Amino acid sequence: MPNAKVLEAKKQAVAELSEKLGAAITGVVVDYKGITVADDTALRKELREAGVQYFVVKNSILKRAVEGTDLGDIASVCEGTTAIALANEDYTAAARILCKFADSHDNFTVKSGFLDGKVVSVETITELAKLPSREVLLATVLSAFQAPIAAFARAVQAIVDKDGEPAAEESAE
């Protein structure tokens, strides 16, 4: 039986992970076995720059953290090597980066994930990865709103330019 100090540390780890899972809007659970240190370092850097928390987690700790929550189905994939990526702002960042990495590394696989507190399939994570980032989507929407206004402004300017030409000729005479 583990001593009280070890047991307390494990309880603290479960509580911290539960808190992180509760705060995240999306998360991706992966099997990272077989990747090199250099690849792992590059992956962590890319995730960090995108605002995604990525860390290795013990399967027993993850199982206890999701026990009795809507994320309980994640416990079924807690085998082998497990890491988790959590995003608090961008829904697509973790899925996009990890799925791209999994495509180029045979041993690295996406096990499961969640979106807004609900476990989703690996297929859903893959589809989520194909979506553009929030900033790109906002830029697309804004350009769609801006296009009619810009066209109207050009039309008004053309009318002003057309009306202004004869007046300039008349004043020259």
Q: What are the tens digits of pLDDT across the range 93-128?
A: 899 999 999 998 888 999 999 998 888 888 888 888
Percent of the chain with pLDDT over 90: 27
Q: Is the pTM of this model over 0.85?
A: no
Domain shared by 144 and 72, yes or no: no
Statement: residue 39 has pLDDT above 70: yes
Q: 91 and 171 share a domain?
A: no
Residue 136 and residue 125 share a domain? no
Residue-number span of the structural domain to which 26 is assigned: 4-131
Average pLDDT over residues 25-47: 92
Same domain, 149 and 166: yes
Q: Are residues 72 and 126 in the same domain?
A: yes
Residue 66 sits in the same domain as residue 115:
yes
For residue range 123-171, what is the model confidence (pLDDT) as tens digits?
Answer: 888 888 887 776 777 788 787 777 778 777 888 888 888 876 654 455 5
Q: How many domains does the chain have?
A: 2
**Measured between alpha carbons, how far is residue 33 from residues 4, 81, 114, 136 in Å?**
32, 6, 21, 33
Check whether residue 82 and residue 105 sit in a common domain: yes
